[in-house]
Amino acid sequence: MSISFYARVKALADSPYAEAALAAIAFAESSFFPIPPDVLLAPMALADPRRAWRFALIATVASVLGGMLGYAIGAVLYNTLGQWLIDLYGYGAKMEALKQTYAQWGWLVILVKGVTPIPYKLVTITSGLLGYNFPLFVALSVITRGARFFLVAGILNWFGEPLRLAMERNFAAVLGGFVALVVVGFIVAVKVF
């Protein structure tokens, strides 16, 4: 089962839909979707290492655009959709403390949280809710999301062949490790953010 999923992801990397699928996931993850684009970015970059940088650029642009939607959800739809998403991730009770943190360290919160496994949608929605400077939010998002996805692309280019072999041998374990990292990110986010 896991190898067939890896084979499908490899096939997707070579298909005309690869970039659109990556863009869609990166866009959605920054505003409402729980699964990070790395789940698709990593296998696609391993399957076609010469396009890893292009995949990172697509993920970055789509993630920033999705972040703009997340910002709009926080700014315009917080009382309905935004509040529901924040509560879904367990942050409802922490909004007052978060407002104070953003007042002093908003730029640092955006930069740090954008490269971690902590769900970026929490940053985007909160930034909109608190009316964080939108052009600065976009610029910081480009920096932090670009750093994250280009770092993944760089690691995959540098260590690509051993990682590809490990992934082909035991895709379930590699994917499970990544999912565990995301879950730890959620737990840390709930305790720290």
Does the pLDDT at position 92 exceed 80? Answer: no
Selection from 87, 93, 2, 1 nearest residue 39 by Cα: 2
Top mean-pLDDT range of 59-68, 117-126, 153-162: 59-68
Our count of domains for the chain comes to 1
- What is the band of 22 on the pLDDT scale with cuts at 50, 70, 90? very high
Question: Are the CB atoms for 73 and 31 separated by under 8 Å?
Answer: yes
Selection from 119, 131, 113 nearest residue 85 by Cα: 119
Q: What is the pTM of this model?
A: 0.79
- What is the band of 62 on the pLDDT scale with cuts at 50, 70, 90? very high
- What is the band of 18 on the pLDDT scale with cuts at 50, 70, 90? confident
Cα-based distances in Å from 98 to 91, 93, 180: 9, 10, 26
HSE-CB of 8 using CA atoms within 13 angstroms:
8
Residue listed under structure tokens 């949280």: 113
Count the Cβ atoms, other than its own, within 10 Å of residue 174.
19
pLDDT per residue as tens digits for the range 127-169: 998 899 999 999 999 999 999 999 888 888 777 777 767 766 7
Question: Residues of 66-98 as b/e, b for ≥16 C-beta within 10 angstroms?
Answer: bbbbbbbbbbebbeebbbebbeebebeebeeeb
Does the pLDDT at position 70 exceed 90? Answer: yes
Does the pLDDT at position 67 exceed 90? Answer: yes
DSSP state of 78: I
Residue listed under structure tokens 């769900």: 119
Q: For every residue of 81-120, which 3-state class applies, written as one string? A: HHHHHHHHCCCHHHHHHHHHHHHHHHHHHHHHHHHCCCCH
158 vs 112, higher pLDDT:
112
Q: Residue 93 is part of which domain span? A: 2-192
